[in-house]
Structure 1
Amino acid sequence: MGRKEHGRDEKHSRRDRRKKKGGIISTVILIVAICVFAFSAFQLYKIFNGYHKGESEYDDLVKLAVTEDKGEQENGTDDQDGSRFSVDFDALRQINPDVVAWIRFDEPAVINYPVVQGSDNSEYLSKTFKGYDNTVGTIFVNAYNHADFNDRNTIIYGHYMYNGTMFNELEQYHEKSFWEKYPSFYIYTPDGNVATYQIYSVGVVKDTSEGYTYQFADDAAFASFLEATKASSLYDTGVEVGNDSQIVTLSTCTREGNDDRTIVHGVRVNVQPAGE
């Protein structure tokens, strides 16, 4: 064999090895890409399946525990105090004895949930009302508040879920026009009463904000809290609060940043029997 022919064979051999090596690399890249896609798809499935299961659970709890007086609705009676609805806390306690309340909005109507109080503020972050492991968690009262909502400021936490559930829709209160239409929310308690809370402040704050204070040394400290919450509001509501006020603060995450929160403060303006 001549040197030229031998050289051509060597070139062909090197070219074949490069092609083979390139083919192996391409195959490996394709396999890795498929694995990444499959893993991502599985993770998305887990997320959305979790959303669906959580949403279904809370829908079932509404059907189980919440009763609406249709008669008043048919007669054209406005439910401005939430009393048209009642909650069966005995049924809820059989499922979860940690239940302390039920929260409901006229709008956003999706906020219609049982409220629990755990042993600490992490217990219900990823545990549903029925005790299942799920990122939707449960709406819960600050573990260091009294469960009767008679503290000067009672804090309720809920996740900002990207499927629009839990406390996601509190974001609508960033717009004053929404607050003007739906300025109140309702807290139902096991004593058979419903309390109406008028929203006086809506803000986007850091998670270390003074708005999360729940213990006050004296009236001056509480007055400072009230002023701070009004000052942090995105708009002036004109709702009056004072040292005799009892506040419920609703808190959830935002799209803004990891340590930013949407915080909604309501002052109790009425208490009456539910379902009457």
Structure 2
Amino acid sequence: MSRKKYHRGRKKRKKKGSILFNIVLVIAIAVFCVSAFQLFKIGKGYYDGRSEYDKIRDLAVETGKGEDEQEGFKVNFDELLAINPDTIGWIRFSPEPSQISYPIVQGDDNSTYLKKTFSANENTLGAIFLNVDNQADFSDRNSIIYGHRMKDGSMFRHLQDYEEKSFWEANPYFYIYTPDGREITYHIYSVGVVEDTSDTYLTVFHTDEEYQTFLTMTKEVAAYDTGVEVTTEDTIVTLSTCTSASDNHRFVVRGVKEEEKSVE
């Protein structure tokens, strides 16, 4: 092979290699840009959702000071109902997980608020909502409240803090406030992971025996024994969220109604 032919062949190979490199570079840049845009959308969705709920708290919630925080907590349901007539309550934990302090809604089905916030904005945070088959006044034997487990720590993400018994020991109560001026105290008696088809989600019990069987099950499947007694004379609220382990499992926190008083 002559020297000229050798150099021409070498130049062609370099040119092809350069073109291939540029194509790969363009593809890599395009993938990076798409990924960065998706991450931006996710981050913005979290930010927008948190900001919305922060504004709702500022608008509708009045808190006490220091030791009187629990006694001084009040919700302006007139403001909430003006924004969303599906409002049926407010849920909060005190002292922790204090991040969980949200309005509760009830839609026409259990899909409406999966990706729609309290103010009806499309957002992955969704809203905290009561099971469509439950009575809005929390009078059912088992009222079920759903919320997403968001990676930024919002909504029902911190329910899973109750995986540790020591956390429950320090924070054994949650509270629900209703538009008719009631504060209902729930004593957490059972927490754990269940399948999404579990009897945990039963809401109708035709006899006391059926209800007792249900209550026994909720204690048997608990992650640990709380020692809190529950009888067929009691009503409970089940808080349900997703888990990181499986799409077919849920983490639930069950509370038995311990006290009800007027906060008007």
TM-score normalised by L of structure 1: 0.92
User: 80, 89, 107: which is aligned to 1:101?
Assistant: 89
SS where residue 137 of structure 1 aligns?
Answer: coil
Matched, 1:202 2:179: no
Structure 1 counterpart of 2:4, which letter? D
For the residue of structure 1 that corresponds to 2:8, the secondary structure is helix
Structure-1 residue corresponding to 2:238: 249
Q: Deviations over 1:167-203 (max 9, x none)?
A: 0000100000000011000000011011000000000
Corresponding position of 2:16: 21
- Distance, in Å, in 2 between the alignment partners of 1:229 and 1:136 is 28
The structural deviation recorded for 1:136 is 0.5
Local SS of the residue matching 1:169: helix
Distance 2:112 2:17 in 1: 52
1:30 corresponding residue in structure 2 = 25
Counterpart pick for 2:140 among 151, 156, 159: 151
Letter in 2 for 1:88: N
- After the TM superposition, which residues 229-240 of structure 1 pair with which residues of structure 2 at under 5 Å, given as runs? 229-240=218-229
Shift in Å at residue 84 of structure 1?
Answer: 2.6
Q: How far has the Cα of 1:154 moved from its partner?
A: 0.5
Equivalent residues in 2 for 1:24-63, closer than 5 Å:
24-63=19-58
CA distance in 1, matches of 2:123, 2:176: 24
* AA in 2 matched with 1:221: E
The amino acid across from 2:106 in the alignment is Q
Identity of aligned residues (%): 52
Within the candidate set 121, 125, 132, 2:114 is matched to 125
Alpha-carbon distance in 2 for matches of 1:148, 1:159: 22
Corresponding residue of 1:10: 5
- Matched ranges for 1:158-177 at <5 A: 158-177=147-166
**Which segments of 5 or more consecutive residues in structure 2 lack a partner in the other structure?**
none
Q: Show CA shifts across 1:124-155 (max 9, x none).
A: 01111111111000000011111110000000
Instruction: State whether structure 2 residue 74 is matched by structure 1 residue 86.
Output: yes
Amino acid at match of 2:56: L
Runs of 4+ aligned residues of structure 1 deviating over 4 Å after TM superposition are none
Q: CA deviation at 1:14?
A: 2.7
- Displacement, 1:67? 1.0
The whole-number CA distance in structure 1 between the counterparts of 2:11 and 2:212 is 82
Counterparts of 2:201 and 2:4, CA distance in 1: 79
* 2:260 matches 1:271: yes
Q: Which residue of 2 aligns with 1:179?
A: 168
User: 1: CA distance between counterparts of 2:48 and 2:125?
Assistant: 9
Aligned length: 263
Partner amino acid, structure 1, of 2:222: S
- Alignment check: 8 A CA contact 1:83 1:194 kept: no
- Cα deviation for residue 9 of structure 1 reads 3.2
| Alignment check: 8 A CA contact 1:83 1:272 kept | no
**Contact residue 83 and residue 273 of structure 1 kept, 8 A:** no
Counterpart code for 1:25: L
> Which gives a bigger RCO, structure 1 or 2 (Cα 8 Å, sep 6+)?
1
